[in-house]
Amino acid sequence: MANNDYNDIFTTTLTSRSGQLADAVSNNNALLKRLQEKGHNRMLAGGSKIIEELEYGEGDLSWYSGYDTITYTPKQLFSAAEYSLKLCAVPVAISGEELLKNSGQYQMIDLFEKRIENAVKTMSNKMAEAVYSDGTSHNGKSIGGLSLLVADFPSSGTVGNINRATAGNEFWRNKAKELTGTITPDSLRSAMDSMYMSLTRGTDKPDLIVTGDDWYSLFEQSLTAQQRFVDTRLADAGFEALRFKGADIVSDGGQGGGCPDGKMYFLNTNYLYLRTHKDRNMKVIGGERMSVNQDAIYKIIGWAGNLTMSNAALQGVIFTDTSSAEG
């Protein structure tokens, strides 16, 4: 009977924290934070695939006078990318012995809170790492992160079930630039200028740049005191953020950071999404889980979805295999 009582508290405490857990995951990564702010954490109702519609063609425009014929040639203007649904979970457990030793409701709630806080940290940190993955880890069961969507070598590989190597699929290739030799503040700044301009289409331009600590430091060295513009929204959220042209630049390396050294992503987040299944948005999966052969109660916090993209040509990456710095 005591276990059942505490199981009710356990379940209620976890369920009430699910929304906070989802927020904590987004607040732990600059890209996910930006997608949350833009409403790009879109819920899925179901289906075996996640579909992103792509608009990559242009129609016809005719200049004419009088009774000239206005021509129209039917052409494919739209396509779609297909992404797989990926799932992850963090278990939280309480043993029967712990239930007995923690007599008193408030002591038990404190124990639950500690376990749940650990689950939040685990989910937040692992999701922040996965944002930079190529989708091959854990036997291909992890999400396809920036290493897949914004690839170092974008003329090969398949993204969203579209083969980038196929003629006619050039529209689905991001921009990429490899730097060699010794990377200095000036050489990095020059590459950044070039990449930013290559991804600018009228008012459509990168709004978020994420990099490792090494290149963030080089960029910082390239600035004068008058150029050190800071994005207050990201700074208020706890991210170290400067400004480059119209984009926020964030360091996401260091301890627990996912962005590797020698890498800088130029992202137009208007075309990036975290697609989450409505029934797995950091929610408790299933009902009561009493172990068959253990005196323990288990609860599982689950998430399902993927990181998706609807325009590759407006995303870019600068990278190097071995980076070094002067200054």
Tell me the percentage of the chain whose pLDDT exceeds 90.
40
Please tell me the distance from the alpha carbon of residue 36 to that of residue 26, in angstroms, as a whole number: 7
The number of folded domains in the chain is: 1
Short-list 215, 213, 223, CA closest to 195? 215
| pLDDT in the model for residue 288 | 65
pLDDT band at 319 (very low <50, low <70, confident <90, very high): very high
Residue 10 has pLDDT above 60, yes or no: no
Residue 202 CB: number of other CB atoms within 10 A? 5
Supply the pTM of this predicted model.
0.83
| pLDDT in the model for residue 225 | 54
Residue matched to tokens 């029934």: 279
pLDDT band at 144 (very low <50, low <70, confident <90, very high): very high
Q: In this structure, what are the phi and psi dihedrals at residue 307, rounded to the nearest 5 degrees? A: -90, 125
Interval 127-150 mean pLDDT? 93
More confident call, 212 vs 99: 212
| pLDDT in the model for residue 295 | 85
Burial of 236 from C-beta contacts in 10 A (0-12 / 13-18 / 19+): exposed
| pLDDT in the model for residue 91 | 86
Dihedral sign for Cα 227, 232, 238, 244, please. Answer: negative
pLDDT band at 147 (very low <50, low <70, confident <90, very high): very high
Cα three-residue angle 297-299-300, rounded to 5 degrees: 150
pLDDT in tens, 283-315: 888 766 777 788 887 888 889 999 999 999 999
More confident call, 13 vs 239: 239
132 in any annotated domain: yes
AA identity, residue 307: L
- Tokens representing residue 85 in the block: 């649904």
Half-sphere exposure of 317 (CA within 13 A, CB side): 22
Residue 327 has pLDDT above 50, yes or no: no
287 in any annotated domain: yes
Cα three-residue angle 140-141-144, rounded to 5 degrees: 75
70 in any annotated domain: no
Residue 13 has pLDDT above 50, yes or no: yes
Angular region, 245: left φ>0, alpha ψ -120 to 50, beta rest: left
33 in any annotated domain: yes
Cβ neighbors of 297 (< 8 A, separation 6 or more) are 3, 6, 7, 10, 93, 94, 99, 288, 289, 290, 291
pLDDT band at 46 (very low <50, low <70, confident <90, very high): confident
63 in any annotated domain: no
24 in any annotated domain: yes
Interval 140-163 mean pLDDT? 95
Residue 29 has pLDDT above 70, yes or no: yes
| Intra-chain end-to-end CA distance of the chain, in Å | 67
Please tell me the distance from the alpha carbon of residue 191 to that of residue 205, in angstroms, as a whole number: 16
Short-list 130, 146, 127, CA closest to 266? 146
Residue 163 is inside which H or E element, if any? strand 162-163
CATH number of the domain within which 103 lies: 3.90.1690
Instruction: Choose from 9-23, 85-99, 302-316 the range with maximum mean pLDDT.
Output: 302-316
- Provide the residue range defining the domain that includes 40: 2-55+77-319
pLDDT in tens, 182-210: 999 999 999 999 999 999 998 899 999 99
AA identity, residue 67: Y
112 in any annotated domain: yes
Please tell me the distance from the alpha carbon of residue 148 to that of residue 156, in angstroms, as a whole number: 11
Residue 323 has pLDDT above 80, yes or no: no
pLDDT band at 236 (very low <50, low <70, confident <90, very high): low
Residue 11 has pLDDT above 60, yes or no: no
Mean pLDDT of the chain: 82
Instruction: Choose from 39-53, 185-199, 272-286 the range with maximum mean pLDDT.
Output: 185-199
Residue 26 has pLDDT above 80, yes or no: no
More confident call, 234 vs 307: 307
163 in any annotated domain: yes
Interval 245-256 mean pLDDT? 81
